[in-house]
Amino acid sequence: MFNYLAKRILWMIPTLIGITFITFLIMKLAPGDPTSIKLLFAGQNISPEALASELAKKEEPLQISDGYLTFAHDVSRFFTGEPDNTKVYKAIHWVGKNSLFYSKWLNNIVHLDFGLSTKDKRPVLARIQEALPITLTINIITILIVYTISIPMGLWSAVKQNSLLDKIVMIKLFLLYSLPSFWVAMLLLVYLAGGEHLNWFPLMGFSSDNAAQLPPLQRLADIGWHLTLPIIVEVYGSFAFLSRFSRSNFLEVIRQDYVRTARSKGLSNFKVLFKHVFRNALIPLITLMGTLLPALLGGSVIVEQIFAIPGMGMLSFEAVLSRDHNLIMGLATIGAFLTLISLILSDLLYAVVDPRINFE
């Protein structure tokens, strides 16, 4: 097991470096920049002083050494046979300049320094730390509800296959899975959060404005009051999908020969289900659980945007709209790292669930 972990970690390092390089390259090749976006939203009446001020806020380019410029000039002349080919020379100059930028950025993220957000000049890590607890709260509650109910329901539905109750439950789950999350969110806001109907829940936000002055229990109740509708929207689709997915896995295992053999030996239904069926049906579910760790920190753009919750989803959405390169690259790097960690944890859980799996 230790040798396996060591090998996976060694492979994870170049994989993560490759992901960061591709992310960096895509951001550098993407059209537009924060300055042009600001000027676009500012309108046409821009004074020369304002334009100069915005341009001055752009990051200063790294200085390229004379030796590298001489090298680029020689390479362009070697490939073209001309002393000064502008396109080749500019391409090599661009690669060299951005290679230096990437080296500097990679060295910084090793020390958890993702740079400054171009939107408000605050550290990227500080902005993530503000949004992360909100998204973690929503996603942890959602995952606990979904997995606690969906897996037992999938097992029950598999045992009661083709019964009247099973058919009714499967039809309802199929209908739930078909409902768009943004549509359900809008319905909940219209009918339960003000307007001409019930006013049971707040329209937006993670907590009330005076939540900091409330006692701890009242503060938790206030947060729960604000998060009820967003969690309902997050839960229903995942609940429907996971229940049907669990049912199909349990049905596949129940039909196996070793389950019939266990029943023929006189084992109780409880032992057959939880000793032979349940553990073997967990392997596909563990594969699905491999996405939980990045999903915990990813946030939901649609839900957070509709309910105006300042979580990771809204942070990512705003970063893309404002061309906040440092914030986008920071979020992508953290997501890639968590995905790789999740894959390792999934492999370890395989060995826990099925003793026949041996990584050696």
pLDDT digits (tens, 9 = 90+) for 291-312: 777 777 776 788 888 888 888 8
Average pLDDT of 1-22? 78
Average pLDDT of 24-35? 69
Check pLDDT > 60 for residue 244.
Answer: yes
pLDDT digits (tens, 9 = 90+) for 77-119: 555 555 555 655 555 555 556 666 777 778 888 888 888 887 7
Q: Of 53 and 318, which is predicted with more confidence?
A: 318
Check pLDDT > 70 for residue 273.
Answer: yes
Report the chain's mean pLDDT, rounded to a whole number: 77
Could you tell me the two tokens for 183?
């549509």
Determine the pLDDT at residue 263.
Answer: 82
Distance CA 9, CA 340 (A): 9
Three-state secondary structure call for residue 15: helix
Determine the pLDDT at residue 7.
Answer: 77
Three-state secondary structure call for residue 116: strand
pLDDT digits (tens, 9 = 90+) for 155-165: 888 888 888 88
Question: Among candidates 4, 18, 46, 103, which has minimal Cα distance to 336?
Answer: 18
Q: What confidence tier does 62 reach under pLDDT thresholds 50, 70, 90?
A: very low
Residue intervals in the chain for CATH 1.10.3720.10: 124-322
Determine the pLDDT at residue 71.
Answer: 53
Distance CA 334, CA 313 (A): 14
Determine the pLDDT at residue 59.
Answer: 46
Check pLDDT > 70 for residue 63.
Answer: no
CATH for the stretch 124-322: 1.10.3720.10
Containing H/E element for 314? helix 312-321
Per the CB < 8 A criterion, the answer to whether 156 and 251 are in contact is no
pLDDT digits (tens, 9 = 90+) for 208-236: 877 778 888 888 888 888 888 899 988 88
Average pLDDT of 58-79? 52
Average pLDDT of 327-342? 86
Average pLDDT of 14-29? 81
Per the CB < 8 A criterion, the answer to whether 134 and 310 are in contact is yes
Determine the pLDDT at residue 114.
Answer: 84
Distance CA 360, CA 356 (A): 11
Check pLDDT > 60 for residue 135.
Answer: yes
Percent of the chain topping pLDDT 70: 77
